[in-house]
């Protein structure tokens, strides 16, 4: 298992079905560190040095989050804006993460039929672009649909989808 850093963004992890399951199950693997941004930085004051150090210590970086308005939760965007600085992640001779791999992993509340390939490509474009801009290998995007607890049946289905997602994510990390 490569040294894996999961950057987890979820403002209400205690109420989560999908991201709670996925982050817990991946954290049980050897060599995995999970940094839950909302817990570390409830005031959005990100410790840039600590985050950059954590990135440098990893081989694989996983962005894990629930889809919010076709995008990431605000804290992950803030984290990217603060941490992926010129002179660290990109710039003349400063591609500090160039030997690493980025994987994008997210959960979606709505069903598959609302998220065809073209929509997923649009959603993942900014994070794929970030990897390319920083000369980091893009390890691909992985997502699961129907992650909601609207009924007991929906919740059970969401948990099953999250479990399948975790297995696929593990394969992707190890590939």
Ligand X SMILES: Cc1cc2nc3c(=O)[nH]c(=O)nc-3n(C[C@H](O)[C@H](O)[C@H](O)COP(=O)(O)O)c2cc1C
Rounded Cα distance, 75 and 84, in Å: 14
Q: Which residue is nearest to ligand X (CB)?
A: 109
Please count the residues of this chain forming the interface with ligand X, following the rule CB under 6 A. 17
Segment near ligand X (CB under 6 A); pick from 29-37, 66-74, 76-84, 135-143: 66-74
The nearest distance, CB 16 to ligand X, in angstroms, is: 3
Question: In terms of Cα–Cα distance, which of 107, 100, 105, 96 is closest to 145?
Answer: 107
* Contact partners, residue 7, CB within 8 Å, separation at least 6: 35, 37, 61, 62, 63, 64, 76, 79
96 forms part of the interface with ligand X (CB under 6 A): no
Which of 62, 75, 108, 136 touches ligand X (CB under 6 A)?
Answer: 108
Could you give the strand order of the β-sheet that contains 60-66, starting from the edge strand earlier in sequence?
Answer: 32-36, 4-8, 60-66, 101-107, 137-144
**Cβ proximity to ligand X, 85 vs 124, nearer residue:** 124
Which tokens go with 98? 């160039």
Phi–psi pair at 97, nearest 5 degrees: -115, 15
Compose the 6-25 pattern: x for residues touching ligand X by CB under 6 A, - for all others: ----x-----xxxxx-----
Which of 5, 51, 66, 100 touches ligand X (CB under 6 A)?
Answer: 66
140 forms part of the interface with ligand X (CB under 6 A): no
Which tokens go with 154? 């929906």
Q: Would you tell me which residues interact with ligand X (CB under 6 A)? A: 10, 16-20, 66-70, 107-110, 147-148
């Amino acid at each position: 298992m490569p040294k894996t850093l999961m950057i987890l963004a979820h403002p209400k992890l205690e109420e989560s079905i999908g991201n709670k399951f996925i982050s817990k199950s991946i954290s049980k693997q050897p060599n995995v560190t999970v940094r839950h941004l909302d817990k570390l930085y409830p005031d959005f004051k990100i410790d840039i040095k600590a985050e950059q150090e954590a990135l440098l210590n990893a081989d694989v970086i996983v962005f894990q989050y629930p889809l919010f308005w076709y995008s990431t939760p605000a804290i992950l965007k803030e984290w990217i804006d603060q941490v992926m600085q010129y002179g660290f992640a990109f710039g003349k001779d400063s591609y500090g993460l160039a030997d690493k791999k980025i994987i994008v992993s997210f959960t979606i509340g709505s069903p598959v039929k609302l998220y065809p390939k073209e929509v997923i490509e649009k959603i993942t474009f900014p994070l794929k672009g970030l990897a390319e801009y920083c000369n980091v290998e893009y390890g691909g995007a992985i997502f699961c649909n129907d992650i909601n607890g609207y009924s007991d049946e929906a919740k059970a289905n969401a948990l099953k989808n999250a479990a399948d997602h975790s297995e696929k994510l593990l394969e992707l990390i190890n590939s």
